[in-house]
Amino acid sequence: MQPDKQISMEAALEKYLGVLENPDGASDITGPCGDQMCFSFRLKEDRISEIRFKAIGCGVTLSCGAAVAFTADGLSLSEAMFISPGYILKMIGPVPADHKHCPLLAATSFYRAVGEYLLKTENKTTERTNAHKQQ
């Protein structure tokens, strides 16, 4: 991850809040508190070239989603998978005890989007391999 990379929370929300049409990977998770987090991203040359998140919930949930999107932007998937709930907390600062689950929701939602992409590409590879074997 890029430690010198910085952005204000307002700028991050403005840049990353939303949903991408036809993403390479996407997720939609509802946390135990009822907050909802969605991520969508596109890859270009094996790097996250576009990423957006949508959150329905409290301000901490929004901040966590923005932190993940900002950090993941421009990284390879293997680099981005190091974005942990602890890292998110370091980025956004202290949160009230009853909001400690928000970074976990953001990280889990992002991981699910990556997993969805990997499963989709694995299925395409398997289908091509099976089609080639049948010829």
Locate tokens 């949160």: which residue?
A: 95
**13 pLDDT more than 80:** yes
pLDDT for 132 equals 55
pLDDT for 134 equals 62
**128 pLDDT more than 60:** no
Per-domain boundaries in the chain: 9-134
Distance between CA atoms of residues 116 and 111, nearest Å = 9
pLDDT digit string, tens, across residues 73-120: 999 999 999 999 999 999 999 999 999 999 999 999 999 999 999 999
- What is the pLDDT confidence band of residue 5, given thresholds at 50, 70 and 90? confident
Q: Poorest-confidence range of 2-6, 56-60, 92-96?
A: 2-6
pLDDT for 2 equals 64
**125 pLDDT more than 70:** no
CATH architecture of 9-134: Alpha-Beta Complex (3.90)
Residue 7: phi and psi, rounded to 5, are -160, 150
Exposure string of 97-126, with b = 16+ CB inside 10 Å and e = fewer, is: eebebbbbbbbbbbbbbbebbeeeeeeeee
**55 pLDDT more than 70:** yes
Q: Poorest-confidence range of 11-15, 78-82, 123-127?
A: 123-127
- What is the pLDDT confidence band of residue 3, given thresholds at 50, 70 and 90? low
Distance between CA atoms of residues 118 and 80, nearest Å = 14
